[in-house]
Amino acid sequence: MLHTVVAIDLGASSGRVLRGQFDGTKLRIEECGRFPNRPVHVPNDHDQDFEWDVLSLWKGIRAGLREAAQRGPVDAIGIDTWGVDYGILDSDGRLVGNPTAYRSERTETVIDQIHRRIDPAWLYRNTGIQFQPFNTLYQLVADRQRVQSSLSATMLLLPDLLGYWLTGRRVCEVTNASTTGMIDPETRSWSPEVLAALDEQFGVPVPEMLPDLVEPGMRLGTVELARADLRTHTGEQTPLIAVGSHDTASAVVAVPAPDPGTSFGFISCGTWSLVGMELEHPVRTAESQRANFTNELGVDGTVRYLKNIMGMWVQQECIRQWREQHVTDLDWPTLTAETESAPPLRTIIDINAPEFLAPGDVLGRIDAAAVTRGEPVPRSRGEYLRAIADSLAVAYRRALREAQELSGTPISVVHIVGGGSNNALLCQQTADATGMRVVAGPEEGTGIGNMVVQLRAIGAVDGDLSALRSIVQASSPTRVYEPVPGATAAWDLAEERAFRNQAPARRSA
């Protein structure tokens, strides 16, 4: 018997509705809808705001679900999105304005205020979450003086907001909740100490705004979508399943690790690159905080110990600028050929520098970063894209080494999942830079990880994460990249160039 599940997978640049059919061994995936997603600049009197056009996303989701239903019965649905951002509901359950995007500048004025009253080291000991200016707790404090805050009754992270619209149930799924900076990663519950500090120090009544936490695999309700006859194979209404609703949590489920006893490194490579390891317990040491590693929660009680790297966002912004300048020949085969023909390791920058976070003149920022660091300025499209790829590989190398040393857990293989797994140059560079085998794929890592958790929840499969990953292995081809012997010396020098003005990275003896 076939089981059919649908993954609503929203990323920071596009959204998709995917339909997966499971025959008992592997998944066959087809796309039922795709729609763009970009933060929209909204002028106001105070700061540079970017907001998510959540109603446009909702329209795309509805259309994709209808298409999925037209192709046959649907046994379950799951939702994953990016983290930290949220919508505010009033006491009647109505959304109060568009959710503000994490690339907005509104938290810049409150971070110092927060850290003067709440010690960052204390925050890290309680939550294990790295400092990022867009963490939800900073956003909540920044929003406390806005008109919307006086109307707020419930805060829902993006996947939970969409789930509420589909089922009428308000919850907060724990993998995404862990990105807020308000979760204790050991107990997997809201940290009463952090919530109390936000209320006492800043008057943010967070405890009153937060819904109950749920773990991946829980049935949240049935989907009642107007004019879409979503029914299961048994004729019942289709359930919404809590999956790893943070997209990286779903992507890590889809790492096709063959041996459940083997530690692996992962790179979930899309708009962001999330680089790290899967652990049983969080790492909340002072050294981990200084390295700015984060302890986000995963499926089945795991911890995603990782670092956020800027990812393909910088590349996407370069291409956007070229399009606005009416540059032609921006197809991927042409850009890939130009990148591969550009001289390697010519221009190295700190790709994770804060100036690359916001939309805008990224080409100019790359030039400025190169000049500041004494690096040659790129002279062509290929050299810009090569500089980004080389700098990403350097950042991956550094993050993976630090993750091993800080956790005390060695790894021997790196899995790259997501859209970046199709970038053969980046995959080979990562193998060369780290000196480790790289396994690339699946491309649809987040969607597949979303689906296999649904399949287990509806009883189509049994077992732990290794059982779910065996489905991924059977369903998705992978490519292996071996490090070129003797290549690491050049990457040693590249890392020194990228981080020459920073504290030295931890290194093995």
* Residues classed as catalytic: 247
DSSP bridge pairs for 154: 89
205, 45 contact by CB (below 8 A)? no
Pair 273, 323: CB distance under 8 Å:
no
Helix axes 381-407, 424-434, angle to 10 degrees: 40
C-alpha to C-alpha distance for 442 and 445, rounded to whole angstroms: 5
Contact (Cβ atoms closer than 8 angstroms) between residue 290 and residue 336: no
SS3 category, 465: helix
Left if phi > 0, otherwise alpha if psi is -120 to 50, otherwise beta: which for 358?
beta
Q: How far, in whole angstroms, is CA 314 from its chain's centroid?
A: 15
E strands, 168-244, are 172-173, 183-184, 189-190, 213-214, 219-222, 239-241
Angle between helices 424-434 and 488-498 in degrees, nearest 10? 90
Number of alpha carbons in the 13 Å side-chain half-sphere of residue 221:
14
Helices (H), 86-149: 111-117, 120-127, 136-143
- State the Cα–Cα distance between residues 454 and 389, nearest whole angstrom: 35
**30/18 Cα distance (integer angstroms):** 6
H or E, element range at 294: strand 294-297
Q: Is 112 helix (H, G, I), strand (E, B) or coil?
A: helix
CA distances from 506 to 125, 291, 486, 501 (A): 21, 9, 22, 15
Compute the chain's Rg from CA coordinates: 22
Cβ–Cβ contacts within 10 Å for residue 496, how many?
13
In this structure, which amino acid lies at residue 76? A
Nearest Cα to Cα of residue 160 among 90, 210, 232: 210
